[in-house]
Amino acid sequence: MYTETLPAERSTPLRKNGVKELKITLSQEALEKIFLINGSTFITGNLSTSDLIVKSNNYYMIINNDTAGIKIIYNKDISKHGIVYDPYKYEDSDKVNYTIEDMKKLFEVPEGYVDTLPKWYSFKFTYPEYNLIFVRPELGISIQTHDLRNEYWEILDGKPIIINGNDVDYFVKSGSRFKIPKKTYHSVINPNLDKFVILKERWDGNFDEEDITRVYNPNHYK
C-alpha cells in the first residue's frame, strides 16, 4: 500500500502503471472533487470506484479541484512508476517569457503574423486565419474551454499528448488533426525532453483571447 496527500488545486504527475492492475482509493467527498486521467479516458464528473482501477501499463493522473487537500491510497507502491509528465517540475525555476527573437532563432517562423502571445512555457503566433502554437519540452498548457468558438488542431511536430473532451491521445504523430467543439475540455502536453510541440490552430466562431475558462492551470503555481 502507498499513500500520498494531494494539495488543493494541484495534480499528481502523469504516471505509467506497471504490469499489475492498480487500485486507487479516495473518499466519496474526494471523488466529487477530482478530474481523472485513466488510460485513454479523461473523466470530469460522476466518478465511481470502478473508474479508479488502472489497468496494466495504462497512464493515470489525478487533478484535485477542491480547496482542501485529499488523501489518495494506492494498493501498491507507485514510486517506481514512470513519470511521463510532471506539471511541477519547473515550479522553482526562473520564469522568463520567450521573445520573438528567441523563437526565430529556434524555428523558421512564417512572416505575416499579426500578434504574438509569449509565455515562459509556450509561444503563440497569430495569423489572420490560424495560430501557430509552440509548447516547451516537459510542459503543458492549461485544461480549458471556450464558449464562443470551435477549434481545429493539426499537429506539426513533437508527438504531444492531447486531451479533447473525454479522450486522451498519447504521442500523437505529425499530421494528426483534432476538432475541439466549443465548451469542450482540451489541452496539449509536451512529454518530450528536448523538443517543442508545434501545432496549427484554426477556429470558427468568435476568436477572443478572453474567451477562455481554465479548469486546471499547471503553470500558475499555488
Work out the end-to-end distance of the chain between its first and last CA atoms, rounded to an integer number of angstroms: 28
pLDDT for res 156 = 98
Task: Give the three-state DSSP class for 89.
Answer: coil
List the 70-74 sheet strands across, edge first.
Answer: 2-6, 70-74, 22-25, 53-54
> Which helix (H) or strand (E) is 105 found in, with range?
helix 100-106
pLDDT for res 221 = 57
CA 59 vs CA 13, 84, 121: distances in Å: 10, 8, 23
Tell me the domain boundaries of the chain.
2-85, 100-216
C-alpha dihedral, 184 to 31 to 11 to 9, nearest 10°: 80
Assign domain 2-85 to its CATH architecture.
Sandwich (2.60)
Amino acid of residue 33: K
* Domain 100-216 classification at class level: mainly beta
CA 25 vs CA 22, 101, 109, 141: distances in Å: 10, 49, 47, 28
Our CA angle for 174, 215, 52, nearest 5°, is 80
Q: Which backbone phi and psi does 92 adopt, to 5 degrees?
A: -100, 10
pTM: 0.94
Per-residue pLDDT of the chain (222 residues; tens, 9 = 90+): 899 999 999 999 999 999 999 999 999 999 999 999 999 999 998 899 999 999 999 999 999 999 999 999 999 999 999 999 999 999 999 999 999 999 999 999 999 999 999 999 999 999 999 999 999 999 999 999 999 999 999 999 999 999 999 999 999 999 999 999 999 999 999 999 999 999 999 999 888 888 999 999 988 754
Asked if domains 2-85 and 100-216 share a fold, the reply is: yes
